[in-house]
Amino acid sequence: MSKTLFERICNRELPGDIVWEDDLVVAFRDINPQAPVHVLVVPRRPIPRLSDAKPEDKELLGHVLLAAAKVAEVLGLKNGYRLVLNTGHDAGEAIPHLHFHLIGGRRMRWPPG
């Protein structure tokens, strides 16, 4: 099975503007930002999408959420941010590797889309 684009960025096989990382998660700037701050928070171990997550992924998923909060802090998003997870084609999922979009630096509107 071939590696996903995000696995290759996490492994430094492809360039990415990495803003934060630890042993389990890498956060890097989106190449098509939708706000002044738009970072992807990606687990190093690929899970294709949330609907494919298993009970044994619980700890990793929790870690990814806590990592997203840390990235927001590091990036100075004191007034708030949005965390978006797309699952499936209709939701706009483009890469089958679970990831969160951390979006901020401007006021968000509701409904989102």
Would you please indicate which residues are annotated as catalytic (active-site) residues? Answer: 99
19 vs 27: CA distance, rounded Å? 6
Tokens of 52: 């494919």
- C-beta atoms surrounding 2 within 10 Å: 6
* DSSP, res 23: S
* Among 19, 58, 18, CA closest to 8: 18
